[in-house]
Amino acid sequence: MQLAIVIMAAGKGTRLKSKRAKVLHEIGGRSLLQHVIASASQIVAPKDIYVIVGHQAAQVRAAVQDTGVQFVDQGEPQGTGHAVQAAEPAVQGYENILVLSGDVPLLKPFTIAQLRDFHLEHRAAMTVLTAVPHDPAGYGRVLRKSETEVTAIVEQKALTTEQQKIGEINSGIYAFRTEPLFAHLGELKAENSHQELYLTDMAGILVKAKERVLALQAAHAVEVLGANTIAEMMDLDREMRLDTARELMARGVTIFRPETTVIDSSVEIGPDTVIEPYVQLLGHTKIGEDCRIRSYTVIENTTVADRVLIRQGCVIANSRIDNGAFIGPFTHMRPETEIGEDAHAGAFVETKKIKLGKGSKANHLTYLGNAEIGAGTNIGAGTITCNYDGVSKHTTLIGDGVFVGSDTTLVAPISVGNGAYIAAGSAITENVPEGALALGRSRQTTKDGWAKARKQRVEEAINKKDGPRR
Protein backbone atom coordinates (compact mmCIF):
# COMPACT_ATOMS: atom_id res chain seq x y z
CA MET A 1 0.00 0.00 0.00
CA GLN A 2 2.30 2.68 -1.30
CA LEU A 3 0.11 5.77 -1.62
CA ALA A 4 -3.08 7.27 -0.22
CA ILE A 5 -4.57 10.71 -0.74
CA VAL A 6 -6.02 12.69 2.15
CA ILE A 7 -8.35 15.60 1.28
CA MET A 8 -8.98 18.32 3.85
CA ALA A 9 -12.72 19.11 3.82
CA ALA A 10 -13.61 19.87 7.44
CA GLY A 11 -13.44 23.67 7.57
CA LYS A 12 -16.32 26.13 7.87
CA GLY A 13 -15.16 28.82 5.46
CA THR A 14 -16.44 31.59 7.72
CA ARG A 15 -15.16 34.37 5.46
CA LEU A 16 -17.61 33.27 2.76
CA LYS A 17 -20.49 34.51 4.95
CA SER A 18 -22.46 31.43 3.90
CA LYS A 19 -24.40 28.75 5.75
CA ARG A 20 -22.98 26.05 3.48
CA ALA A 21 -19.69 24.31 4.14
CA LYS A 22 -16.96 25.84 2.02
CA VAL A 23 -16.18 22.69 0.02
CA LEU A 24 -19.84 22.40 -1.07
CA HIS A 25 -19.80 25.71 -2.93
CA GLU A 26 -19.77 25.22 -6.69
CA ILE A 27 -17.67 26.40 -9.56
CA GLY A 28 -17.63 24.99 -13.08
CA GLY A 29 -20.80 23.02 -12.40
CA ARG A 30 -19.50 20.94 -9.49
CA SER A 31 -18.65 21.50 -5.85
CA LEU A 32 -15.08 22.43 -4.94
CA LEU A 33 -14.67 19.04 -3.28
CA GLN A 34 -15.99 17.12 -6.30
CA HIS A 35 -13.36 18.77 -8.50
CA VAL A 36 -10.58 17.74 -6.11
CA ILE A 37 -11.89 14.17 -5.84
CA ALA A 38 -12.13 13.92 -9.63
CA SER A 39 -8.46 14.90 -9.99
CA ALA A 40 -7.34 12.66 -7.13
CA SER A 41 -9.23 9.70 -8.64
CA GLN A 42 -6.92 9.82 -11.65
CA ILE A 43 -3.95 9.22 -9.33
CA VAL A 44 -5.23 6.52 -6.98
CA ALA A 45 -8.34 4.37 -6.70
CA PRO A 46 -11.27 5.98 -4.83
CA LYS A 47 -10.86 3.46 -1.98
CA ASP A 48 -7.44 5.02 -1.31
CA ILE A 49 -8.85 8.55 -1.04
CA TYR A 50 -9.76 9.71 2.48
CA VAL A 51 -11.89 12.83 2.86
CA ILE A 52 -11.57 14.53 6.25
CA VAL A 53 -14.99 15.86 7.27
CA GLY A 54 -16.01 18.00 10.22
CA HIS A 55 -18.27 21.00 9.72
CA GLN A 56 -21.58 19.82 8.17
CA ALA A 57 -20.07 16.35 7.92
CA ALA A 58 -23.36 14.66 6.97
CA GLN A 59 -23.99 17.07 4.09
CA VAL A 60 -20.42 16.74 2.80
CA ARG A 61 -20.61 12.94 2.92
CA ALA A 62 -23.93 12.92 1.07
CA ALA A 63 -22.64 15.25 -1.64
CA VAL A 64 -19.76 12.95 -2.66
CA GLN A 65 -20.92 9.55 -1.41
CA ASP A 66 -21.28 8.15 -4.94
CA THR A 67 -17.59 8.77 -5.74
CA GLY A 68 -16.51 5.73 -3.73
CA VAL A 69 -14.11 7.63 -1.45
CA GLN A 70 -13.70 6.94 2.25
CA PHE A 71 -14.34 9.37 5.10
CA VAL A 72 -12.62 10.33 8.34
CA ASP A 73 -14.56 12.40 10.85
CA GLN A 74 -12.34 15.06 12.44
CA GLY A 75 -15.02 16.22 14.84
CA GLU A 76 -14.62 19.86 15.79
CA PRO A 77 -11.87 21.07 13.41
CA GLN A 78 -8.75 22.23 15.23
CA GLY A 79 -6.45 22.83 12.29
CA THR A 80 -4.81 20.91 9.46
CA GLY A 81 -2.42 19.13 11.80
CA HIS A 82 -5.35 17.91 13.86
CA ALA A 83 -7.00 16.66 10.65
CA VAL A 84 -4.02 14.46 9.81
CA GLN A 85 -3.94 13.20 13.40
CA ALA A 86 -7.58 12.15 12.94
CA ALA A 87 -6.67 10.37 9.70
CA GLU A 88 -3.66 8.52 11.13
CA PRO A 89 -5.49 5.28 12.05
CA ALA A 90 -6.95 5.05 8.53
CA VAL A 91 -3.76 5.74 6.55
CA GLN A 92 -0.92 4.53 8.75
CA GLY A 93 -0.62 1.35 6.67
CA TYR A 94 0.42 3.33 3.59
CA GLU A 95 4.05 4.15 2.89
CA ASN A 96 3.22 7.66 1.63
CA ILE A 97 0.30 10.05 1.61
CA LEU A 98 -0.57 13.12 -0.42
CA VAL A 99 -2.46 15.84 1.42
CA LEU A 100 -4.77 17.95 -0.78
CA SER A 101 -7.11 20.82 0.08
CA GLY A 102 -10.79 20.35 -0.67
CA ASP A 103 -11.10 24.02 -1.58
CA VAL A 104 -8.39 24.11 -4.29
CA PRO A 105 -10.43 22.99 -7.31
CA LEU A 106 -8.11 23.96 -10.20
CA LEU A 107 -5.35 21.51 -9.26
CA LYS A 108 -4.80 19.20 -12.22
CA PRO A 109 -4.02 15.46 -12.08
CA PHE A 110 -0.77 16.12 -13.96
CA THR A 111 0.47 18.39 -11.15
CA ILE A 112 -0.55 15.89 -8.46
CA ALA A 113 1.34 13.19 -10.34
CA GLN A 114 4.41 15.43 -10.58
CA LEU A 115 4.34 15.95 -6.81
CA ARG A 116 3.97 12.21 -6.21
CA ASP A 117 6.81 11.26 -8.56
CA PHE A 118 9.19 13.93 -7.24
CA HIS A 119 8.49 12.92 -3.65
CA LEU A 120 8.97 9.19 -4.29
CA GLU A 121 12.05 9.67 -6.43
CA HIS A 122 13.85 11.71 -3.76
CA ARG A 123 12.63 9.64 -0.80
CA ALA A 124 11.72 12.81 1.07
CA ALA A 125 10.02 12.82 4.44
CA MET A 126 7.93 15.80 3.29
CA THR A 127 7.53 17.52 -0.06
CA VAL A 128 5.76 20.88 -0.29
CA LEU A 129 4.03 21.98 -3.49
CA THR A 130 4.80 25.66 -3.93
CA ALA A 131 3.90 28.40 -6.40
CA VAL A 132 4.82 31.96 -7.31
CA PRO A 133 1.58 33.92 -7.86
CA HIS A 134 1.37 37.55 -8.96
CA ASP A 135 0.31 38.53 -5.43
CA PRO A 136 1.54 36.28 -2.59
CA ALA A 137 -0.31 38.25 0.10
CA GLY A 138 -2.28 36.04 2.47
CA TYR A 139 -0.17 32.94 1.91
CA GLY A 140 2.60 31.43 4.01
CA ARG A 141 6.10 31.60 2.49
CA VAL A 142 8.56 28.80 1.89
CA LEU A 143 12.08 29.26 3.23
CA ARG A 144 14.68 27.30 1.26
CA LYS A 145 18.28 26.43 1.97
CA SER A 146 18.96 25.07 -1.53
CA GLU A 147 17.29 24.60 -4.90
CA THR A 148 15.12 21.78 -3.56
CA GLU A 149 15.51 21.72 0.23
CA VAL A 150 13.26 23.60 2.66
CA THR A 151 14.08 24.86 6.13
CA ALA A 152 10.64 26.04 7.22
CA ILE A 153 7.20 27.35 6.21
CA VAL A 154 6.25 30.68 7.78
CA GLU A 155 2.61 31.76 8.01
CA GLN A 156 1.67 35.20 6.65
CA LYS A 157 1.11 36.73 10.10
CA ALA A 158 4.53 35.59 11.33
CA LEU A 159 6.57 36.92 8.38
CA THR A 160 9.38 39.35 9.02
CA THR A 161 9.77 42.39 6.80
CA GLU A 162 12.49 40.63 4.85
CA GLN A 163 10.49 37.40 4.50
CA GLN A 164 7.53 39.31 3.06
CA LYS A 165 9.66 39.89 -0.03
CA ILE A 166 9.67 36.15 -0.76
CA GLY A 167 7.35 35.39 -3.67
CA GLU A 168 7.20 31.61 -3.29
CA ILE A 169 4.11 30.51 -1.36
CA ASN A 170 3.05 27.36 0.42
CA SER A 171 0.09 25.85 -1.46
CA GLY A 172 -1.09 23.73 1.48
CA ILE A 173 -0.57 20.63 -0.67
CA TYR A 174 1.99 18.11 0.55
CA ALA A 175 3.45 14.65 0.16
CA PHE A 176 4.62 12.76 3.28
CA ARG A 177 6.37 9.53 4.01
CA THR A 178 4.13 8.20 6.76
CA GLU A 179 6.80 6.73 9.04
CA PRO A 180 8.55 10.04 9.88
CA LEU A 181 5.29 11.98 9.71
CA PHE A 182 3.54 9.93 12.37
CA ALA A 183 6.71 9.61 14.42
CA HIS A 184 6.76 13.40 14.89
CA LEU A 185 3.09 14.43 14.38
CA GLY A 186 2.54 14.61 18.13
CA GLU A 187 5.13 17.40 18.37
CA LEU A 188 2.75 19.92 16.78
CA LYS A 189 1.75 22.70 19.18
CA ALA A 190 -1.14 25.15 18.97
CA GLU A 191 1.10 28.17 19.54
CA ASN A 192 -0.60 30.60 17.18
CA SER A 193 -3.41 33.16 17.17
CA HIS A 194 -6.05 30.55 16.25
CA GLN A 195 -4.87 28.01 18.85
CA GLU A 196 -4.82 25.32 16.14
CA LEU A 197 -2.39 22.63 15.04
CA TYR A 198 -0.84 23.65 11.72
CA LEU A 199 0.49 20.99 9.37
CA THR A 200 2.87 23.62 7.98
CA ASP A 201 4.87 23.35 11.21
CA MET A 202 5.85 19.79 10.25
CA ALA A 203 8.44 21.24 7.85
CA GLY A 204 10.45 22.75 10.67
CA ILE A 205 9.91 19.76 12.95
CA LEU A 206 11.13 17.29 10.35
CA VAL A 207 14.14 19.45 9.42
CA LYS A 208 15.08 19.58 13.09
CA ALA A 209 14.83 15.77 13.15
CA LYS A 210 17.36 15.60 10.26
CA GLU A 211 14.71 14.43 7.77
CA ARG A 212 14.61 15.63 4.15
CA VAL A 213 12.00 18.31 3.44
CA LEU A 214 11.82 19.33 -0.21
CA ALA A 215 9.83 21.74 -2.36
CA LEU A 216 8.44 21.40 -5.87
CA GLN A 217 7.16 24.52 -7.63
CA ALA A 218 3.93 24.16 -9.63
CA ALA A 219 4.23 25.29 -13.23
CA HIS A 220 1.00 27.32 -13.06
CA ALA A 221 0.28 29.21 -9.84
CA VAL A 222 -3.45 29.45 -10.58
CA GLU A 223 -3.79 25.70 -9.97
CA VAL A 224 -3.06 26.02 -6.25
CA LEU A 225 -5.12 29.12 -5.51
CA GLY A 226 -8.02 28.83 -3.10
CA ALA A 227 -10.85 31.23 -2.33
CA ASN A 228 -11.85 32.84 0.95
CA THR A 229 -14.67 35.03 -0.40
CA ILE A 230 -17.47 34.53 -2.91
CA ALA A 231 -15.79 37.07 -5.20
CA GLU A 232 -12.53 35.07 -5.14
CA MET A 233 -14.49 31.90 -5.79
CA MET A 234 -16.07 33.44 -8.87
CA ASP A 235 -12.58 34.33 -10.08
CA LEU A 236 -11.78 30.61 -9.92
CA ASP A 237 -15.04 29.80 -11.69
CA ARG A 238 -14.15 32.16 -14.53
CA GLU A 239 -10.68 30.68 -14.83
CA MET A 240 -12.02 27.13 -14.86
CA ARG A 241 -14.67 27.87 -17.49
CA LEU A 242 -12.20 29.68 -19.74
CA ASP A 243 -9.85 26.73 -19.38
CA THR A 244 -12.70 24.37 -20.35
CA ALA A 245 -13.46 26.55 -23.38
CA ARG A 246 -9.79 26.56 -24.42
CA GLU A 247 -9.63 22.77 -24.23
CA LEU A 248 -12.79 22.44 -26.34
CA MET A 249 -11.49 24.89 -28.94
CA ALA A 250 -8.25 22.93 -29.11
CA ARG A 251 -10.37 19.92 -30.12
CA GLY A 252 -12.07 21.76 -32.99
CA VAL A 253 -15.07 23.41 -31.33
CA THR A 254 -15.80 27.02 -32.31
CA ILE A 255 -16.84 29.15 -29.34
CA PHE A 256 -17.62 32.77 -30.13
CA ARG A 257 -16.86 35.08 -27.20
CA PRO A 258 -15.95 32.27 -24.78
CA GLU A 259 -15.88 34.74 -21.88
CA THR A 260 -19.68 35.07 -22.24
CA THR A 261 -20.45 31.34 -22.22
CA VAL A 262 -21.10 29.15 -19.17
CA ILE A 263 -19.75 25.67 -19.94
CA ASP A 264 -19.40 23.17 -17.11
CA SER A 265 -16.20 21.15 -16.89
CA SER A 266 -18.12 17.89 -17.44
CA VAL A 267 -19.58 18.96 -20.82
CA GLU A 268 -18.44 17.14 -23.99
CA ILE A 269 -18.64 18.73 -27.48
CA GLY A 270 -17.63 17.27 -30.84
CA PRO A 271 -15.51 19.02 -33.48
CA ASP A 272 -16.99 21.52 -35.96
CA THR A 273 -19.78 22.42 -33.57
CA VAL A 274 -20.37 26.16 -33.14
CA ILE A 275 -21.32 27.69 -29.79
CA GLU A 276 -22.59 31.26 -30.03
CA PRO A 277 -22.27 33.89 -27.26
CA TYR A 278 -24.30 33.68 -24.03
CA VAL A 279 -24.94 29.94 -24.24
CA GLN A 280 -25.05 27.82 -21.06
CA LEU A 281 -24.08 24.14 -21.28
CA LEU A 282 -24.50 22.48 -17.90
CA GLY A 283 -24.07 19.18 -16.10
CA HIS A 284 -23.44 16.05 -18.12
CA THR A 285 -24.41 17.54 -21.46
CA LYS A 286 -22.93 15.89 -24.53
CA ILE A 287 -23.10 17.58 -27.96
CA GLY A 288 -22.02 15.88 -31.17
CA GLU A 289 -20.32 17.13 -34.30
CA ASP A 290 -21.40 19.83 -36.77
CA CYS A 291 -24.05 21.29 -34.46
CA ARG A 292 -24.86 24.94 -33.92
CA ILE A 293 -26.12 26.22 -30.58
CA ARG A 294 -27.40 29.76 -30.93
CA SER A 295 -27.30 32.51 -28.32
CA TYR A 296 -29.20 32.52 -25.01
CA THR A 297 -29.86 28.78 -25.06
CA VAL A 298 -29.52 26.77 -21.82
CA ILE A 299 -28.90 23.01 -22.10
CA GLU A 300 -28.57 20.78 -19.04
CA ASN A 301 -27.85 17.03 -18.75
CA THR A 302 -28.86 16.46 -22.35
CA THR A 303 -27.45 14.41 -25.23
CA VAL A 304 -27.42 16.16 -28.60
CA ALA A 305 -26.37 14.07 -31.62
CA ASP A 306 -24.72 15.34 -34.83
CA ARG A 307 -25.84 18.11 -37.22
CA VAL A 308 -28.42 19.54 -34.82
CA LEU A 309 -29.46 23.19 -34.98
CA ILE A 310 -30.71 24.70 -31.73
CA ARG A 311 -31.92 28.22 -32.31
CA GLN A 312 -32.01 31.16 -29.91
CA GLY A 313 -33.44 31.12 -26.44
CA CYS A 314 -34.17 27.42 -25.93
CA VAL A 315 -34.27 25.78 -22.48
CA ILE A 316 -33.53 22.05 -22.60
CA ALA A 317 -33.07 19.63 -19.69
CA ASN A 318 -32.56 15.88 -19.27
CA SER A 319 -33.49 15.12 -22.86
CA ARG A 320 -32.16 13.59 -26.09
CA ILE A 321 -32.01 15.09 -29.58
CA ASP A 322 -31.09 12.88 -32.53
CA ASN A 323 -29.17 13.61 -35.74
CA GLY A 324 -30.26 16.49 -37.93
CA ALA A 325 -33.04 17.79 -35.70
CA PHE A 326 -34.10 21.45 -35.62
CA ILE A 327 -35.06 23.02 -32.30
CA GLY A 328 -36.40 26.48 -31.48
CA PRO A 329 -36.36 29.35 -31.21
CA PHE A 330 -37.75 29.60 -27.67
CA THR A 331 -38.46 25.90 -27.25
CA HIS A 332 -38.81 24.51 -23.73
CA MET A 333 -37.85 20.84 -23.60
CA ARG A 334 -38.54 19.45 -20.15
CA PRO A 335 -37.16 16.13 -18.86
CA GLU A 336 -37.60 12.85 -20.73
CA THR A 337 -38.09 14.49 -24.11
CA GLU A 338 -36.74 12.53 -27.10
CA ILE A 339 -36.57 14.30 -30.45
CA GLY A 340 -36.03 11.93 -33.38
CA GLU A 341 -33.79 12.22 -36.40
CA ASP A 342 -34.59 15.22 -38.65
CA ALA A 343 -37.56 16.13 -36.45
CA HIS A 344 -38.56 19.73 -35.68
CA ALA A 345 -39.69 21.26 -32.38
CA GLY A 346 -40.15 24.92 -33.20
CA ALA A 347 -41.04 28.29 -31.81
CA PHE A 348 -42.74 28.35 -28.40
CA VAL A 349 -43.17 24.58 -28.27
CA GLU A 350 -43.10 22.97 -24.83
CA THR A 351 -42.51 19.26 -24.32
CA LYS A 352 -42.44 16.89 -21.35
CA LYS A 353 -41.87 13.14 -21.41
CA ILE A 354 -42.48 12.69 -25.12
CA LYS A 355 -41.04 10.93 -28.16
CA LEU A 356 -41.23 12.86 -31.42
CA GLY A 357 -40.53 10.47 -34.28
CA LYS A 358 -38.19 10.74 -37.25
CA GLY A 359 -39.04 13.65 -39.52
CA SER A 360 -42.06 14.72 -37.47
CA LYS A 361 -42.76 18.40 -36.92
CA ALA A 362 -44.28 20.52 -34.18
CA ASN A 363 -43.29 23.94 -35.40
CA HIS A 364 -45.43 26.45 -33.52
CA LEU A 365 -47.06 27.24 -30.19
CA THR A 366 -47.70 23.70 -28.99
CA TYR A 367 -47.68 21.72 -25.74
CA LEU A 368 -46.85 18.02 -25.97
CA GLY A 369 -46.78 16.07 -22.71
CA ASN A 370 -46.81 12.30 -22.05
CA ALA A 371 -47.01 11.55 -25.76
CA GLU A 372 -45.50 9.16 -28.30
CA ILE A 373 -45.57 10.51 -31.84
CA GLY A 374 -44.58 8.43 -34.85
CA ALA A 375 -42.53 9.30 -37.92
CA GLY A 376 -43.50 11.89 -40.53
CA THR A 377 -46.32 13.36 -38.47
CA ASN A 378 -47.30 17.05 -38.55
CA ILE A 379 -48.51 18.69 -35.35
CA GLY A 380 -50.32 21.94 -36.17
CA ALA A 381 -49.93 25.25 -34.35
CA GLY A 382 -51.72 25.52 -31.01
CA THR A 383 -52.06 21.77 -30.47
CA ILE A 384 -52.32 20.59 -26.86
CA THR A 385 -52.11 17.08 -25.45
CA CYS A 386 -54.36 17.25 -22.39
CA ASN A 387 -52.40 14.74 -20.30
CA TYR A 388 -53.46 15.58 -16.74
CA ASP A 389 -56.93 15.05 -15.29
CA GLY A 390 -56.15 16.63 -11.91
CA VAL A 391 -55.09 13.31 -10.38
CA SER A 392 -53.07 11.28 -12.89
CA LYS A 393 -51.07 11.73 -16.08
CA HIS A 394 -52.29 9.95 -19.23
CA THR A 395 -50.62 9.13 -22.55
CA THR A 396 -51.41 10.28 -26.07
CA LEU A 397 -50.34 7.91 -28.88
CA ILE A 398 -50.08 9.36 -32.39
CA GLY A 399 -49.01 7.13 -35.26
CA ASP A 400 -46.94 7.67 -38.40
CA GLY A 401 -47.90 10.12 -41.13
CA VAL A 402 -50.66 11.78 -39.09
CA PHE A 403 -51.85 15.32 -39.82
CA VAL A 404 -53.03 17.18 -36.72
CA GLY A 405 -54.69 20.47 -37.64
CA SER A 406 -54.06 23.72 -35.80
CA ASP A 407 -55.73 24.45 -32.48
CA THR A 408 -56.44 20.80 -31.70
CA THR A 409 -56.83 19.46 -28.18
CA LEU A 410 -56.19 15.75 -27.66
CA VAL A 411 -57.73 14.59 -24.39
CA ALA A 412 -55.70 11.64 -23.09
CA PRO A 413 -55.73 8.71 -22.83
CA ILE A 414 -56.20 8.60 -26.57
CA SER A 415 -54.66 7.12 -29.72
CA VAL A 416 -54.58 8.36 -33.28
CA GLY A 417 -53.89 5.74 -35.96
CA ASN A 418 -51.39 5.94 -38.81
CA GLY A 419 -52.27 8.30 -41.63
CA ALA A 420 -55.24 9.85 -39.83
CA TYR A 421 -56.32 13.47 -40.27
CA ILE A 422 -57.64 15.70 -37.51
CA ALA A 423 -59.48 18.84 -38.57
CA ALA A 424 -58.30 22.20 -37.22
CA GLY A 425 -60.02 23.45 -34.08
CA SER A 426 -61.06 19.99 -32.93
CA ALA A 427 -61.35 18.66 -29.40
CA ILE A 428 -60.65 14.94 -29.76
CA THR A 429 -61.86 12.74 -26.91
CA GLU A 430 -62.11 9.35 -28.64
CA ASN A 431 -59.60 7.16 -30.43
CA VAL A 432 -59.12 7.91 -34.13
CA PRO A 433 -58.73 4.85 -36.42
CA GLU A 434 -55.98 4.53 -39.00
CA GLY A 435 -56.65 6.60 -42.13
CA ALA A 436 -59.74 8.31 -40.64
CA LEU A 437 -60.73 11.97 -40.53
CA ALA A 438 -61.76 13.23 -37.10
CA LEU A 439 -63.69 16.44 -36.46
CA GLY A 440 -64.49 17.49 -32.93
CA ARG A 441 -65.98 20.97 -33.26
CA SER A 442 -69.48 22.52 -33.31
CA ARG A 443 -71.08 23.35 -36.66
CA GLN A 444 -70.61 26.95 -37.82
CA THR A 445 -73.71 29.17 -37.95
CA THR A 446 -73.75 32.24 -40.26
CA LYS A 447 -76.45 34.93 -40.00
CA ASP A 448 -76.55 37.21 -43.05
CA GLY A 449 -76.82 40.93 -42.32
CA TRP A 450 -76.50 40.50 -38.54
CA ALA A 451 -73.49 42.83 -38.11
CA LYS A 452 -75.01 45.56 -40.30
CA ALA A 453 -78.31 45.48 -38.38
CA ARG A 454 -76.50 45.60 -35.05
CA LYS A 455 -74.51 48.66 -36.09
CA GLN A 456 -77.72 50.42 -37.15
CA ARG A 457 -79.43 49.66 -33.81
CA VAL A 458 -76.45 51.06 -31.88
CA GLU A 459 -76.48 54.31 -33.88
CA GLU A 460 -80.23 54.76 -33.35
CA ALA A 461 -79.83 54.32 -29.61
CA ILE A 462 -77.07 56.92 -29.45
CA ASN A 463 -79.09 59.43 -31.50
CA LYS A 464 -82.10 58.94 -29.26
CA LYS A 465 -80.01 59.60 -26.15
CA ASP A 466 -77.72 62.43 -27.30
CA GLY A 467 -79.36 63.80 -30.38
CA PRO A 468 -78.16 63.43 -33.96
CA ARG A 469 -74.39 63.45 -34.40
CA ARG A 470 -72.89 66.20 -36.51
Parent domain of 117: 3-224
> Quick one: 209 and 255 in the same domain?
no
In CATH, what number is assigned to the domain containing residue 187?
Answer: 3.90.550.10
Give a three-class secondary structure readout of 50-108: EEEEECEHHHHHHHHHHHCCEEEECCCCCCHHHHHHHHHHHHCCCCEEEEEECCCCCCC
- Give a yes or no: residue 71 inside a domain: yes
> Quick one: 159 and 201 in the same domain?
yes
> Quick one: 304 and 342 in the same domain?
yes
Cα 337 from chain centroid (whole Å): 20
155 labeled binding residue: yes
Concatenating the DSSP letter of every residue in 409-461 gives EEESSEEE-TT-EE-TT-EE-S-B-TT-EE--SPPP---TTHHHHHHHHHHHH
Sign of CA dihedral 387, 389, 393, 395: negative
Residue 294 vs residues 128, 345, 353: alpha-carbon distances, Å? 46, 15, 24
Whose CA is closest to 245, among 214, 212, 290, 277? 277
Q: How many structural domains does the chain have? A: 2
421 labeled binding residue: no
This model's pTM is above 0.75 = yes
Amino acid at 462: I
74 labeled binding residue: yes
> Quick one: 199 and 304 in the same domain?
no
> Quick one: 210 and 256 in the same domain?
no
> Quick one: 84 and 204 in the same domain?
yes
For the chain, 470 residues long, give each residue's pLDDT as a single digit of tens.
699 999 999 988 888 899 999 999 999 999 999 999 999 999 999 999 999 999 999 999 999 999 999 999 998 888 999 999 999 999 999 999 999 999 999 999 999 999 999 999 999 999 999 999 998 888 899 999 888 899 999 888 888 888 888 999 999 999 999 999 999 999 999 888 778 899 999 999 999 999 999 999 999 999 999 888 999 999 999 999 999 999 999 999 999 999 999 999 999 999 999 999 999 999 999 999 999 999 999 999 999 999 999 999 999 999 999 999 999 999 999 999 999 999 999 999 999 999 999 999 999 999 999 999 999 999 999 999 999 999 999 999 999 999 999 999 999 999 999 999 999 999 999 999 999 999 998 888 999 999 999 999 999 898 887 766 55
54 labeled binding residue: no
> Quick one: 220 and 259 in the same domain?
no
108 labeled binding residue: no
Q: Which member of 122, 184, 220, 364 is catalytic? A: 364
Residue 182 vs residues 71, 97, 206: alpha-carbon distances, Å? 19, 11, 11
> Quick one: 369 and 270 in the same domain?
yes
**Residue 364 is a catalytic residue:** yes
- Give a yes or no: residue 195 inside a domain: yes
> Quick one: 135 and 25 in the same domain?
yes
